[in-house]
């Protein structure tokens, strides 16, 4: 395995699409996933190293980092996609909700970036860290307060790590809004949600993949957040 890319949260949706996209480009991959299923087995058959990780506490995060270092001595990049989407209405244990959101969206990337920074700098080539954040970083969210705050923390870390790891490691963020509907979303919800953007479409994962390709191929862009929101900020 030569200079793999690490992807957290690669078991479904955007993370899964990123994994297949990078495999098609010939990259070696180390992936984290939460639950074993057929898609993970397919990724393994294609050569990806898939590590089960739930990131429930510091010990589980440290264990995941140690497993990464057992598989490789260098990394081409790190893509932080692991995420959890919960709201105050559905979880009245606000302290637990806040801790959960901050752990998965801020603590996990923070600890992985620090622990694996040397793996990104052992070769002379430019390497990358990409954080998947959310368009609510700019707007906030009255229904998902802890979630929005944790994604804002990750967005801020993009700037801090870009400064810390330059010039060899570029650190950027991608902030999507609606990209792919969930299977259980009804037609009324879909119509209402599409009207929230200027483009009024469900763009699909290709928009994230195109943005990711641009960031990974750039030799100059760092410390930036790329908004992939269809113009929601103008509505």
Which residues are annotated as catalytic?
147
CA distance 120 to 175: 23
Instruction: For the chain, give the number of residues.
Output: 235
Residue 121 near residue 168 (C-beta atoms within 8 A): yes
CA distance 43 to 40: 5
The separation between CA 33 and the C-alpha centre of its own chain, rounded to angstroms, equals 12
Contacts of 146 (CB under 8 A, 6+ apart): 86, 88, 94, 97, 98, 100, 101, 102
């Amino acid at each position: 395995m030569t200079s793999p890319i690490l992807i957290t949260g690669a078991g479904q949706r955007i993370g899964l699409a990123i994994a297949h996209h990078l495999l098609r480009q010939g990259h070696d991959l180390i992936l984290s996933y939460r639950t074993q299923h057929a898609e993970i087995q397919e990724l393994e058959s294609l050569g990806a190293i898939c590590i089960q990780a739930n990131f429930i506490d510091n010990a589980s995060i440290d264990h995941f980092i140690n497993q990464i270092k057992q598989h490789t001595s260098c990394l081409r990049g790190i893509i932080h996609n692991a995420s959890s989407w919960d709201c105050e209405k559905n979880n009245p244990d606000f302290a637990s909700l806040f801790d959960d959101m901050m752990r998965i969206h801020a603590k996990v990337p923070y600890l992985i970036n620090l622990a694996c920074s040397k793996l990104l700098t052992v070769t002379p080539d430019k390497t990358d860290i990409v954080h998947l954040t959310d368009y609510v970083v700019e707007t906030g969210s009255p229904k998902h307060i802890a979630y929005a705050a944790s994604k804002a923390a990750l967005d801020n870390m993009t700037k801090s790590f870009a400064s810390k790891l330059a010039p060899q490691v570029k650190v950027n963020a991608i902030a999507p809004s609606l990209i792919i509907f969930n299977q259980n979303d009804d037609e009324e919800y879909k119509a209402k949600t599409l009207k929230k953007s200027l483009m009024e479409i469900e763009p699909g994962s290709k928009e994230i993949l195109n943005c990711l390709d641009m960031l990974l191929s750039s030799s100059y862009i760092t410390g930036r957040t790329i908004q992939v929101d269809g113009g929601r900020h103008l509505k």
